[in-house]
Chains A and B, each alone.
Chain A
C-alpha cells in the first residue's frame, strides 16, 4: 500500500466476454479498494454474473484483464483465486457431505491444514450460528442453513476480496441479514467487497460506490451522490431508469 489511498485489491480492465457470437460483457472496467464495498448494479442479463465469474476465474475472458491483489487471474489463477472468496446462488454444496466436511475439504484446497483449519472452521460455525446443523448432510438442510454454510465456505480462507453474486436473492429476511452483517464485518476488517444485486435499496444502504451496468457495458460509476447528481434524479431507481432510457434511445438511434 502506498499513501493514503490503498492500491486497488481488484482491478478490472476492459473486460469482454463473447458467448458464441453474443457479447455478454462488452468492455467493463472498474476497481475495488480494500475496506470498500462496491455494488454491481444492473437488470437481469446485463452481464453481472458473467463479469463476476470472470473475476473469480471460473470463466476465461475473451479479452481484457482482471488483477486480484496484483495477480492476473488468467496467467496466475492459483494465486489470484487464493485471494478471492466467491459466493453465488449457483455455488452449491456437496449434498452427501456435512457443512463441516465441506469446509474441511475447501480448507485443504486453499492450503489450510491441521489446527489452523479446525480453529477457523469452529470460529465460522460459531459466528454464523451453524452449530445445530454443522454435522448433518448438506442435502438435508434448509435453504437458509445451506446459504450460511456457503457463506462460511466463501469466507473460510479469509480472502482479501469477496465476490458475491446476488447473495441475498431467494433468502428470507433473517438469512439475508447474515449476509449483510458479514459484508459489514468484512469491510470493517479492511477487506474489499464486490457484490451484484438488482435490489436498489440494498445497494443504496450497503455500498460505498456503485457500478451501473447495462447490456454488458458500464453506463456510470461512483459514489451514490455523484450518480444522483449526474442523472439529475433524487433516488437510485430513477437514476437507473434514466440511464436505461438513454441506453435504449442510443441503441434505437
Chain B
C-alpha cells in the first residue's frame, strides 16, 4: 500500500497542471482577490464621496431646507411632471405616513422612481403648508423618496437625511430657546446602543461564515483532479491493467490511491488556509483579524474528516469513468453536491446543533464556523466527529467495493449506460447506479408532486405521495427496465422465524428511537412534533374512531407497503450488490433523506437500517412491510388514544420515553434483530454473487 501511495503521489505531484490548481492558485488568488476588491471598493467610495448628490426638491420648500447638508445639489422641481406638480401644490396628494401600510398607488413615488432612473439621486418632497405649520409651532411633513437598490441613491438618502435632521434639530432648538426651555427638553432621554461583541467574535463571524465555504470548495479541487487522474486517467492511459497483473490486492491499490487523493486534498487545504491567513495578516494590516492561529489550525484539523469522506466519494465515482472527460462529467456533480452544503454556513441562523451535526460536510463547515465564533460545545464537537467518521468509513467502504468490480476497473469500449449498469436488464435486478438514479428520479417526483398536492389537504397529500410518487414510480421503473419483479422487490413470504423477527422489531423500534436517540440528541423543535401529530390525526381530534382507522390505513399501512417497495425493494436490491451492510446503510441514509428534514434524518435512517436488515436477512419485503407498518401504526394509536399513551408514559411527545419502556423496547428490538441474524441466507436472492463464484 505504501509503495502504491508513494508512487501515485510522486506521479501526481509531477502533473504541473493539478499542482498549479492546488497550490499556486490559492496563493495568488486570495491576495489578488482581496487587494483588487478593496481597491475597487475604495476607488468607488472615493468617487462617490467626491461627487455631490443631486436632490430633486418637489413642493413648496423653505429656502434653508437642505442648507445644512454637505455635497448636496438641490434642484427644485427637477423631474417632476407638470400635472403632478400642480396636484401636489393644490393639496390633492396625501403624504405617506410612518406606520400606515404602503399605499397601492402612489403617483408621486412612481414619478420619483422615474426621476431617479434619470439624473436625480434622491427626491425630497416638502408637502404643502410646511412653512405655515412650522410658523404656527405645528408639525410639517417632508418625505424622502430613494431607491435602495441604487447605490448612488442610497448614498444621497443618507446625505439628505443628515441635512434634514440637522435642519429639524435647528428648528427644535429655536423653539426651545423661544420658550425658555432647557436644551434636553424635547429629547428627554438619550438612548445610545453599544455593541458588546468583542472584536474577536465580530471578525470570527465575518470569517466564520465565509472561511468554511471557501476552504471546502477550493480544497476539494485538489482531490477532484487527483481522483480523476488516478482512476479514469489511469484507465485511459492503459496503466490500470499493468498494475493489476502485479501481485497487489485491489484493497492495497484503492488504499494507496485513496491516500494520494486525501494527501492532495489536504495539501490544497493547507495552501488555502495558509494563503487566507497570510492575506488577512500581512496584506490587509488595517483589518485587525483577531482570530488566532489556533483557530486556523483547528479549522485545518477539522478539514481532515471532511476531506477523508470526499476523497473516498470522488475515488468511488471516478472509478466508473472510462476516460478523463468522463471522469470530469461524473465527479463534477459529486463535487457540487459535497461542497454546496458548506455554502449553507453563509446563511444566517444555520448553526451547529444535534441535528445538523449529522449532515455530512455541513456539520464540519458549521463546526469550523462555531470554532471561529468561539461557541462550539464539546458534545457537539464529539457528535460531529463521530458522524463524520461514520460517513468517511462508509464512503471508503463504497470506494473499496467499486474497485473490486472488474468491469469497473477495466471498463473497455462498452457504452456509458452499460458501464453504469443503466441498460435494460430483462429478468435481472438493478445495478447500484441504477438504484441511485431511480432514487434521485423518485425524490424529484416526490418533491414537485407533494408541492402540487399541498393545497388538497393532508389526506390527499399522504395518499398521493404514497401511491402516486412512491408506488407508481417503483412499479413503472421495474416494468420499463424489464427487471425481475419478484427478485427486485423481494416478493416472497418470510419464514415463520423471519416474520417473528419482523414482529419483534416492528413493535419495539419506535421505543428505541424515542427512548435512546431522542435522549442522546436534544429535542426536536415543537413545531415539527405538532406538525407530525397533525398529520397523524388527519386534522381531527384524538378519540375519533373513524380517524383512527383512516390514520392506520394512510399513515401505517400505505407507507409500510409503498415506502418498503421503493426503498427495501428496488433501491436495496441494487445497492446490496455493493455488499450487505453498505447496501443497508446507504438505503437507510436515502430513506432518511427522503423524509426531507434534518431533524428526522437520524431517526428515520436508523429505522431504515432495521427494516433493511430484516429484508436482507429474510429475503422478503413482507418482513420490512410488517415492521414498518407496525412501527407507524403504534405511533398512530398512541397519538389517537391518549389513554394508551398515558399508560406508557408518553403523553408528551417532546419528552423522553421512561427508562422502563426504553429498556423493554431495546431488548425486544435486539431480540428481533438477533433472530433475523440467525436466519439461513437465502441464496436465490444473490444471483450476482452466486453466478460469479460458482465452481
Contacts and interface: CB of A to CB of B under 8 A. Distances in A.
A92 B238 contact: yes
A78 B692 contact: no
Contacts of B237: 92, 94-95
Contacts of B41: none
Interface stretch (A57-65, A128-136, A176-184): A57-65
Contact of B245 (A86, A95, A105): A86
Contacts of B692: 60, 62
Nearest to A84: B245
B694 interface: yes
Contact of B406 (A20, A60, A88, A111): A60
Contact of A97 (B10, B245, B249, B691): B10
B644 to A, nearest CB: 55
A17 to B, nearest CB: 10
B10 A91 contact: no
A79 B248 CA distance: 10
B11 A94 contact: yes
A40 to B, nearest CB: 17
B245 A57 contact: yes
B693 to A, nearest CB: 9
Given A92-B238, A93-B239, A58 B244 contact: yes
B179 interface: no
Interface string B238-273: 110110111111000000000000000000000000
A160 B485 CA distance: 50
A79 B244 CA distance: 14
A119 to B, nearest CB: 19
Contacts of B246: 81, 106, 109-110
Interface residues of A, number: 34
Interface string A71-109: 000000111011010101011111111000100011011
B689 interface: no
Nearest to A20: B418
B330 to A, nearest CB: 21
Given A77-B247, A81-B246, A110-B246, A105 B7 contact: yes
Main secondary structure of the interface of B (DSSP, over half): helix
B247 A91 contact: no
B695 A91 contact: no
Contact of B241 (A90, A95, A101): A90
B15 interface: yes
Given A60-B692, A91-B238, A96 B245 contact: no
Nearest to A81: B247
A90 B695 CA distance: 29
Contacts of B10: 97, 101
A77 B238 CA distance: 21
Contacts of A56: 245
Measured as residues with beta carbon below 8 angstroms from the partner, the interface class of chain B is 20 to 34
B14 interface: yes
Contacts of A62: 691-692, 694
A34 to B, nearest CB: 20
Given A96-B11, A96-B14, A105-B3, A81 B239 contact: no
B210 interface: no
A153 interface: yes
A18 B473 CA distance: 32
B410 interface: yes
Interface string B48-62: 000000000000000
A86 B244 CA distance: 10
B458 to A, nearest CB: 47
B241 A97 contact: no
A91 B692 CA distance: 25
B247 A109 contact: yes
A110 B248 CA distance: 8
A108 B3 contact: yes
A70 to B, nearest CB: 16
Nearest to B244: A58
B244 A97 contact: no
B247 A110 contact: yes
Nearest to B249: A78
Interface in B676-695: 691-692, 694-695
Given A59-B406, A60-B692, A97-B11, A109 B241 contact: no
A101 B15 CA distance: 16
B412 to A, nearest CB: 9
A96 B233 CA distance: 12
Contact of B694 (A63, A78, A91, A153): A63
B563 to A, nearest CB: 32
A153 B242 contact: yes
Contact of A94 (B239, B247, B406): B239
Nearest to A86: B245
Contacts of B14: 96-97, 137
Contacts of A59: 406, 410
A163 to B, nearest CB: 8
Contacts of A92: 237-239, 241-242
Contacts of B3: 105, 108-109
B259 to A, nearest CB: 15
Most buried by A among B237, B241, B245: B245
Nearest to A91: B242
A86 B418 CA distance: 28
Contacts of B410: 58-59
A229 B249 CA distance: 46
Given A92-B239, A105-B3, 4 more contacts: A86-B245, A91-B245, A109-B246, A110-B246
30 contacts: A57-B244, A58-B244, A58-B245, A58-B406, A58-B410, A59-B406, A60-B406, A62-B691, A62-B694, A78-B247, A78-B249, A81-B246, A84-B245, A90-B238, A90-B241, A91-B238, A91-B239, A91-B245, A92-B239, A93-B242, A94-B7, A94-B237, A97-B7, A97-B10, A97-B14, A108-B3, A109-B4, A109-B246, A110-B246, A110-B247
Interface of A: 20, 53, 56-60, 62-63, 77-79, 81-82, 84, 86, 88, 90-97, 101, 105-106, 108-111, 137, 153
* In the A-B complex, the 9 residue pairs with the closest CB atoms: A92-B238, A81-B247, A86-B245, A91-B242, A96-B14, A109-B246, A78-B247, A108-B3, A56-B245
